[in-house]
Structure 1
């Protein structure tokens, strides 16, 4: 296990110096609520519920980010080191769990059981499929939830062993620990609600507590229902919650298509675990083809039969190969939530963080139990060592690419050139390079044009989303503004760089408006529309007259845009600022009031509302908004701004512009 720990640190070390990536910026890097300076309950509560993720907000995971910031600052290195420590703890818990379960089945804690447990932990720790749960900081939600699930499962097993030995006091303590761990797991990420299913597998396969007839069949069924109905009810509630926020309307697949595709996805996951292929691993897998029918493609039917066969084998050999059966069933159970009816994206590697343990366990148990005269214990150990070195090499190579966003983006583009999200990310890298002061003017023009081409390819690969088209429009508008400024400088006799107009496909604006109105109301489209509006409002972009207004009108006409969502509140908040900039105060008041009504906890809406109301002459309402902000704990930046605005109003001074 010490070798496994050292190998894991070596494998991940290059990636620890990498930056925050993608969702990290919203959830962590730019989240002012996490930047706590005192360890008081108010600050921790603000941090815990500062990011709306899932049904339960995941306050345990968010609190861990706040504590990370408090003790070690905002550098991404410390966040990734903590993620790696959590990963290592999970590896040790897997070691103890496998050793305990193997001892239950074989009746002793033999050296063979310990070596098997260590081998499973080693392979799982260094396996490349788990990399995103470590180096993608926001996925601490996954690894932390797994930590508490493993603690709960291990505590439950130890509690059952103590109960069998008539040590009821000790057993009760273990059960209490399991319950506490379950709560912590659930508030780290919602897929912890599958813990009762894992406990059921342990009871059925190892403890045989449900097979006893001592209390009668009715009692046994009651225990089963009490365990399994809880996660089923919670899962149904989560499904209803997702449906309220758009459900499958915001996806380019139906419920049936998702269920059919997930059969193939599960086999794809197993292939990545059993036969690691460096060219397949990626943060995005949206190029995975959709199953539109049982035989479209034909591999869907094969996968359905294959999953059924795995279940049959696990049940058929549950007594003779209990550990392997447990591993297979645990893998399948771990995907009951994220690979079934809930309208999530189709595929993500981090969903295998716990499930991959099951496949690794099944494979290594198979190697251990394979009876061949030539397959000596020494040779088996050598095979495990070679496998470990191979996995360390792949994970280390992946970690190297995670050192830099440019390297990671182009690495993913090389592996998944037909992924819309990968192309979008590559375009963002080109856009960043075009703003690099170290590049000359010609290179910047080339990078901007390459960004347009990548964005357009992403738009072609995903014909339902307007986000990439809006990005092209913004680049073009920024470029036109720069050209206009250069011409003005020339007229004034100033030295100005020669900026080349971009080669933008015709009809981008009309295509974007159509998609905003008729297609999926995605978060990317919302975010880019807001960026476009801010850019125009602040006079940094040069759009055609009425062009941005037409985009807003099209998007607001989309029947799938949730009427009472934070997304709608953000759109209304920006519309209020646009109306304010045009001195249409009546419209500005109406829009900001609607935004605040939808999301009354957003302090920025009330700050902007205070300015709009004060400019309109409604000083009382402006002060009321500011007092509402100050009545609750806020990050220092927001609190100070609200106090300054309130003092200005009390002095009779005007609030000239929204803080934005």
Structure 2
């Protein structure tokens, strides 16, 4: 018995060491994609080195109504300004992954105890179940993708919340009502709140509690009748049943409303098509979980084929049937095989928010991080039952974790090499515009623009409305001698059909405008850029205020380069009026001043003063709190006053190039 007390911690340490070694090659990778859309907030309003900048940063999130401040807080462990080194971010995420593995072991062991399993078997099964999860290669794209710490933190909160709630429920079972109620409320209410502050899918913790209560606890460990039972029922209604019903009702309403109205304009599919597609997506996820391999599609899934009917693609209806069969079987087997039943229902419960009716992108591997927590526990229980096939099962206990560790190591090596990663993902995803554009950028950086041209032209022929392909093609052409009329036509066609340029156009414009003005790329002129912008402005798919503001502002920058300050000022004012924001006013006025036109900058600030009462109200949730923080700190009036003073000095002195765009303005387009 004593040796087991020592053996289990040693095995846990061995598991953690194996996981660290498996992931180690990926720690030296770079930032990727959405990292650049989120992490620069660390320096957007100045280095986070005092309480004022801390509160501005921690409330700056825009994802979910909460803004995910818990995730933002953890990024401060790794950097307090931007640009930053990616290694500390990846190291912290890996440590968090290992912590989640330890917590998962504790949860599985506790569940095994509640199912009346013998100590040696439940501990071995818990260790094996957590090892298979911890070492699974599918989770590499969550752990090493820095921004997806927002998917990892809910797992920490969910497991910790379940353990805390289970402790509180045990206290109630022993008649300790006050302490049991407090522990239960902290476990479910407190940790749900923390999980939601990391990402919205943390709100599913009450549903996980409900599943464990129904499948594991109620049939075997009922709370004794009396005050304890009444107290616990009240707790379940308040903190478990009602929140779960609210989430289900919201998802159902979004689905029904979407089916009736057709769905969001910013997606290429309707809500009805999404609901038909997601069963196929879930089957793909399960295939990757149970038939793992070293490499997958990674972060690029924009080429995923949408289901347009029950029979197109042909796998749509079979996927729906399998999904319903799994759910029905899991419920039917809940008494005879509670562990398997719980693992299946837990998985699909974990996909409820991100893989049903909400209009998110169709497919991302990181959506399996929390749902798969219990996935391999039933396998661990089967392998540790050595009454049958003992030799085979003991062999599998060693082979399976080591096999997963080797695949994870191979995938982590890929994540540590941006060049190889980009080319492999492009090969795996030949129809993904994102994957091909990313690979083309890597090829251009490596001095192989001709390879990039070949890659981009091939896909652009079948996806002519993809601006990311057309713009990168122009960049590659510039490296090989200049652009042609056909390249301009292709870019114009992409701007005519693009549904959403996002931040792509603004970032590409920032890189391309100096090239156009310097004449380094024959055929690329400011007139060509202006034509592309005007084409975008006439695109009905880009008729909303956001894209119109971006394009109009960029047109003003071209006018400024062409020494047309009045035209530039007019475009800046027009862009500002589309969405009145102080950050926009600051950036536009500072840009005019930096170009040598401080008087026009002052006039733009005067215009903003007249229309500032029409400023966009902050969105619900964290944006409202962020606006309150800025108002409390008198942030915008201070920045506007400072810029006005500088522009005034420049205008008086005739100094044409001292007013620089304020990095603290926080303007986004």
Range of TM-score over shorter length: 0.7 to 0.9
Output the CA distance in 2 between the equivalents of 1:230 and 1:164: 28
Provide the alpha-carbon RMSD of the alignment: 3.9
Seen in structure 2, the aligned counterparts of structure 1 residues 360 and 605 have a Cα distance that, compared at 3 Å, is farther
Q: Does the CA contact (< 8 Å) of 1:34 and 1:69 recur in 2? A: no
Is the CA contact (8 Å cut-off) linking 1:87 and 1:125 kept in structure 2?
A: yes
Shift of 1:583: 4.4
Taking the aligned partners of 2:473 and 2:184, their CA distance within structure 1 comes to 56
1:177 aligns with 2:186: yes
Give the distance between the partners of 1:401 and 1:220, measured in 2 at CA.
Answer: 47
Corresponding position of 2:445: 432
**Structure 2 vs 1, CA of residues 393 and 598 (structure 1 numbering), >3 Å: closer, same or farther?**
farther
CA change 1:415–1:52 in 2 (3 A) is same
Is residue 30–residue 418 contact of structure 2 (8 Å, CA) maintained in 1? yes
Q: Which residue of the partner structure matches residue 570 of structure 1? A: 550
Find the counterpart in structure 2 of residue 440 from structure 1: none
Secondary structure in 1 matching 2:653 = coil
Residue 161 in structure 1 maps to residue 170 in structure 2: yes
Quote the residue 2:624 is aligned against.
none
CA distance in 2, matches of 1:56, 1:555: 33
Q: How far is 1:256 from its partner? A: 2.4
Task: Quote how far apart the aligned CAs of 1:366 are.
Answer: 4.4
Match of 1:87 among 83, 97, 100: 97
Kindly report which structure 2 residues correspond to 1:443-458, keeping only aligned pairs within 5 A, or say none.
447-458=448-459
- Mapped partners of 2:638, 2:417: distance in 1: 35
Q: Do residues 52 (structure 1) and 65 (structure 2) align? A: no
Select 2:489's aligned residue among 489, 510, 513: 510
1:653 match: 653
Instruction: Find the aligned partners of 2:253 and 2:542 in 1 and give their Cα distance.
Output: 21
CA contact (8 A) 1:611 1:656 kept: no
Q: Structure 1 residue 333: deviation in Å?
A: 1.2
Partner of 2:664: none
The Cα shift of 1:197 comes to 1.6
1:534 correspondence with 2:513: yes
Aligned CA distance change for structure 1 residues 93 and 584 (closer, same or farther; 3 Å): same
Residue 151 of structure 1 is aligned with which of 154, 160, 166? Answer: 160
Displacement, 1:621? Answer: 5.5
Tell me if 1:291 matches 2:307: yes
TM (normalized to structure 1)?
Answer: 0.82
Q: What residue is the counterpart of 1:78 in the other structure?
A: 88
Taking the aligned partners of 2:581 and 2:427, their CA distance within structure 1 comes to: 43
Find the partner of 1:11 among 2, 8, 22: 22
Instruction: Report the CA distance between 1:580 and its aligned residue.
Output: 3.0
Give 1:66-215 correspondences, 5 Å limit. Answer: 66-70=76-80, 74-106=84-116, 110-178=119-187, 179-208=189-218
Aligned-residue offset at 1:138: 1.0
Q: Deviations over 1:398-433 (max 9, x none)?
A: 111111210211222343334332221110111111
1:555 paired with 2:536, answer: yes
Cα distance in structure 2, aligned partners of 1:401 and 1:338 = 27
Superposition pairs of residues 149-548 of structure 1, within 5 angstroms: 149-178=158-187, 179-208=189-218, 225-232=241-248, 235=251, 248-368=264-384, 374-376=388-390, 379-434=392-447, 447-460=448-461, 462-476=463-477, 478-479=478-479, 500=481, 507-523=486-502, 525-527=504-506, 530-531=509-510, 534-535=513-514, 538-539=517-518, 541=521, 542-543=523-524, 546-548=527-529
The change in CA–CA distance for 1:648 and 1:239 in structure 2 (over 3 A counts) is farther
Aligned to 1:32: 43
In the alignment, is the contact (CA less than 8 A) between 1:310 and 1:328 conserved in 2?
yes
Task: Report the equivalent of 1:23.
Answer: 34
| Compared CA separation, residues 421 and 533, structure 1 to 2 (3 A) | closer
Kept after mapping to 2: 8 A contact 1:324/1:362:
yes
Q: Secondary structure at the match of 1:208?
A: helix
Instruction: State the 1:568 CA deviation.
Output: 4.1
Identify the range of structure 1 (325-334 vs 167-176) with the bigger mean alpha-carbon deviation. Answer: 167-176
TM-score by length of 2: 0.81
Structure 1 portions without partners, runs of 5+ = 435-446, 480-498
Count of residues in Structure 1 that have an aligned counterpart in Structure 2: 615
